[in-house]
Structure 1
Amino acid sequence: MTELKVDATLENLTRVLDFVEEKLEMCNCSMKTIMQIQIAVEEIYVNIASYAYKEKKGEAIVKIETDEEPPQVSLTFEDYGEPYNPLLKEDPDITLSAEERDIGGLGIYLVKKSMDKVEYEYRDGKNIFTIKKNLG
């Protein structure tokens, strides 16, 4: 497992995305899979940077692990911010037009639809959000 610790700021988004992309390229992920994972990473990290610590400064930890059998990648995001489980938010009604839909929730919905497994837990004073994508 490899990890990156950064200040949870929007300015560090590129650093997080580069870190993830570098690791995914090392395990010969397809470009389509890399793009799907990068979109999920951006959504999750931006939520941490924007909301986890409110007005305070805090840290975000991104961990990435790959398995060969079955071939998959697992990314875990940790922060010590306000407890928040985005998976409890009701999925948006995508049959409605953008004007008719409530604001928010579409990003995490896309994460849930594009990843093979999405988990959240609050443990030891931290939010732990994990996404997994099968590579086979």
Structure 2
Amino acid sequence: MHQFKTNCKRERLKEIRHFVAEVLTDIGLSEIDAHKVILAVDEVCANLIIHSNKCNPSECLELFIEDHGKDGVLFEIIDYGIGFNYNNYKEPNLEEIIRKRKKGGLGIMLVKNIMDTVEFKNEENKNICRMIKKFTKNK
């Protein structure tokens, strides 16, 4: 299992992306699959840092990556900020977003389209996002 722990500053997103890229390279993902997964993990981490923890550097975020072989790669992201109620999530209307030229609001939809499984839950005062991505590895 690979682990990365950081404080909730936007500037740390680059380090998170770098960490995920290194792990995915070691696991043997294709460059295209790796970029998609990095985008999804970055989106969730950005939302947690910005919205859940209000970019508060005294708050922390933990990322765990575990290779499950043919069952895929598990990503678990834990934070202690304001929880996201995934059950209340409604996919945005793309035509409405384009018509209003609205920026943002597509992140979770993007993550759901990239990952095979996406779960959010609150457990013992912590928020947990679990995502699984299945693919054929290069190694």
When normalised by structure 2's length, the TM-score is 0.88
- CA shift for structure 1 position 39: 0.8
DSSP-derived class of the 1:29 partner: coil
- Structure 1: where are the runs of 5+ without partners? none
* Structure 1 residue aligned with 2:109: 109
CA contact (8 A) 1:86 1:108 kept: no
Describe the shift of the 1:87–1:63 C-alpha distance in structure 2 as closer, same or farther (beyond 3 A).
farther
Report the Cα distance in structure 1 between the residues aligned to 2:83 and 2:96, rounded to whole angstroms: 30
Describe the shift of the 1:107–1:55 C-alpha distance in structure 2 as closer, same or farther (beyond 3 A).
closer
Larger displacement relative to structure 2 (99-108 or 40-49): 99-108
Deviations, residues 60-87 of structure 1 (Å, cap 9, x unaligned): 00110011133x1111110000121245
Describe the shift of the 1:41–1:28 C-alpha distance in structure 2 as closer, same or farther (beyond 3 A).
same
CA contact (8 A) 2:70 2:134 kept: no
1:74-93, aligned counterparts within 5 Å?
Answer: 74-86=74-86, 88-93=88-93
Describe the shift of the 1:25–1:55 C-alpha distance in structure 2 as closer, same or farther (beyond 3 A).
closer
Letter in 1 for 2:69: E
* Structure 2 residue aligned with 1:3: 3
* Structure 1 residue aligned with 2:66: 65
Report the Cα distance in structure 2 between the residues aligned to 1:63 and 1:5, rounded to whole angstroms: 9
- CA shift for structure 1 position 103: 5.7
Report the Cα distance in structure 2 between the residues aligned to 1:65 and 1:17, rounded to whole angstroms: 16
Report the Cα distance in structure 1 between the residues aligned to 2:55 and 2:85, rounded to whole angstroms: 19
Deviations, residues 71-124 of structure 1 (Å, cap 9, x unaligned): x11111100001212453200112445134766431110100111000111001
Q: Which runs of 4+ in 1 moved over 4 A?
A: 101-104
* Structure 1 residue aligned with 2:19: 19
Q: Percent identity?
A: 29
Letter in 2 for 1:17: R
Aligned residues: 135
